[in-house]
Amino acid sequence: MDKRIKMSLLLDYYNVLLTEKQRYVMNLYYNEDFSLAEISEHTNTSRQAIYDSIKRCDKLLLEYEEKLKLMQKSKNTQKFKKQMIHELNNIEKNCKDKNCIESIEKIRDELINNI
């Protein structure tokens, strides 16, 4: 996975653990694609301070994921749900009972709506 995308995703999971200024800078850098110079202008902070802040936050976000694994757990859950939908589709193909089909559809809909 591209580092920029990974950091943006980690920011989605762990931004509440950063300070308001860290969140602002990280959002501008990873989600709004601002350069260090542009962020520096917006925050009245030196370019070097912005660079240092981003590197420090990158490290924090990676440590949070290493310890809490929220992104990995979410990814695993999505994969599991897709597998279950696939299995339900296979069962439904062989099912002749109307009640069985309705139950399968209900379960599949719940999985799809919660992906």
Write the pLDDT tens digit of every residue in 41-51.
Answer: 999 999 999 99
- How many domains does the chain contain in total? 2
Evaluate if residue 35 carries a pLDDT over 80.
Answer: yes
- Tell which residue, 3, 57, 48, has the closest CA to residue 25: 57
Confidence of residue 27 (pLDDT cuts 50, 70, 90): very high
Evaluate if residue 69 carries a pLDDT over 70.
Answer: yes
Q: What is the CATH number of the domain that holds 10?
A: 1.10.10.10
Same domain, 43 and 94: no
* pTM recorded for the entire structure: 0.80
Confidence of residue 115 (pLDDT cuts 50, 70, 90): low
Domain range for 45 is 3-68
Same domain, 80 and 62: no
